[in-house]
Structure 1
Amino acid sequence: MVNNINGSNTFKTSQVELELLHTLLEDEDATYPWNPTEEHSDDYYLQIEQQFQMEDVLNEELAMRSSSFYNTLDTLWSGLFNSEHYKHNTKSAFLSELQQNLQASFANRIPQDWLKSIAQKATEMLNSQQSVGEQLVQCVQSVLPQWDADDLFVMARPLAFAMRSGETQTENSVIDMVGNREWTNISEIEKAKVSMAIAYHALKQLKSIQEEA
């Protein structure tokens, strides 16, 4: 790659640059022709005019090279951002942070594997074109696959509306649903409601994590 760069026309010293450098290094003590009618005055003015012309050409050339350089950087960055390796590493980092957040909020009430499954499904749907309701339903079905999607959509509707309208639901509301009961003593419909609320928090937290990244 280095050899390609060194050999490219972009980094070759042009004749214009050499001529300009030669002009700049010339004797600064050259006598200014105060009398325009003198024999060598035309040569002096012609030389000055050529110097300015070379500077204009060099400025245009530098501008073109700068534009090409930044366009190349944009292309490289776009390729990196859209690469599967970058996406995989980004999702892995988001998943890890989301799981930690859910564990910190609900681990004393909700089984750990339950929280991990919801976090995993939420992260898989990162930047998904699905509606909020569909994402909530899929998160819940990751832990309650026996539940029908239509029934879960009814349960998801108020939470999806709250998320779209910017309303907030606190983690305490989830904890209050469970109370001091053991998870195994909670009914299936209560588990579905709790899972839906956790999915709501997972999607909101994932959005915040992505915005802060």
Structure 2
Amino acid sequence: MSFNSQPDRDHISVAEAELMDCLLSSSTVNYPWNPADPETAEYYTRSDNDFSLDDWSDAEIGQKSQSFFASIQSCWGTVSEEARVNPLAALTSKFGARVPQQWLAQIAANVSNLAPAGNLEPVEQLVQSVRGLLSNWEVDDLLVMARPYAYAMRCNPGVDDPDNIVRPLEWAELSELERAKLTILVAQYAIDSSNCD
């Protein structure tokens, strides 16, 4: 079975070791955690003086910044033209084997109706797009369940892979909680796709 809800322990161990090394290194400079502290301005002034782009040409700065922003953009991946033009087809292509077609159609319709309501927080958008399908859940419960999806780092590998969220079973065999999680995942994918221009 390929269901894996635990992160790779080797990667966590390496990250923890690097973090501990950074925290425990013999640094004589203390980071100013309080921005209201008068010494904070001094700290940033000294830090800015230590950093200079004077040795770099404008062309080199442009090239390095383009490379930097391209690597950041690659974390979010790209949304196909199909997803922008026909969101239901994109949802069916990605989740059709796991989620009933009528649920996918309802999610696509709900997400397309959210477009004018741009003043909602991401988690509220997500709950609004699944509320009709998950009417037996309290709104507060949906908000708690949706928060990790709405604010997840998009460069996290597998964040939109259903097998990382629920057991790889048919829809009818999933628990009510697993169905809710999968529904929220589909809605987040639809929202992300609709926000890419």
Structure 2-normalised TM-score?
A: 0.52
Post-superposition offset of 1:167: 4.2
Unaligned runs of 5+ in 1: 1-92
Counterpart secondary structure, 1:146: coil
Give matches, 1:114-193, under 5 Å: 114-128=103-117, 129-162=119-152, 167=155, 170=158, 173-193=161-181
Unaligned runs of 5+ in 2: 1-81
Q: Partner letter of residue 108 of structure 1?
A: A
In 2, Cα distance between the equivalents of 1:113 and 1:130?
A: 25
Post-superposition offset of 1:207: 1.1
Structure 1-normalised TM-score?
A: 0.48
In 2, Cα distance between the equivalents of 1:127 and 1:166?
A: 24
Cα gap change, 1:146/1:96 in structure 2, threshold over 3 Å: closer, same or farther? farther
Q: Would you say the 8 A contact 1:144–1:192 is kept in 2? A: yes
Counterpart secondary structure, 2:86: helix
Q: Would you say the 8 A contact 2:114–2:129 is kept in 1? A: no
In 2, Cα distance between the equivalents of 1:103 and 1:171?
A: 18
Cα gap change, 1:134/1:120 in structure 2, threshold over 3 Å: closer, same or farther? same
Cα gap change, 1:180/1:112 in structure 2, threshold over 3 Å: closer, same or farther? same
Deviates most, 114-123 or 139-148: 139-148
Q: Partner letter of residue 162 of structure 2?
A: V
RMSD: 2.4
Partner of 1:109: 98
Cα gap change, 1:159/1:177 in structure 2, threshold over 3 Å: closer, same or farther? closer
Post-superposition offset of 1:192: 0.8
Q: Partner letter of residue 160 of structure 1?
A: A
In 2, Cα distance between the equivalents of 1:104 and 1:199?
A: 14
Post-superposition offset of 1:201: 0.3
Equivalent residue in structure 2 for 1:98, among 78, 82, 87: 87
In 2, Cα distance between the equivalents of 1:155 and 1:180?
A: 20
Q: Partner letter of residue 113 of structure 2?
A: E
Q: Would you say the 8 A contact 1:109–1:178 is kept in 2? A: no
Q: Would you say the 8 A contact 1:137–1:149 is kept in 2? A: yes
Q: Would you say the 8 A contact 1:119–1:202 is kept in 2? A: yes
Moved over 6 A (4+): 93-96
Give matches, 1:36-115, under 5 Å: 97-115=86-104
- Counting aligned pairs with the same residue, the percent is 32
| Bigger fraction of residues in helix | 1
Structure number with greater Rg is 1
In 2, Cα distance between the equivalents of 1:155 and 1:95?
A: 26
Q: Would you say the 8 A contact 1:133–1:156 is kept in 2? A: yes
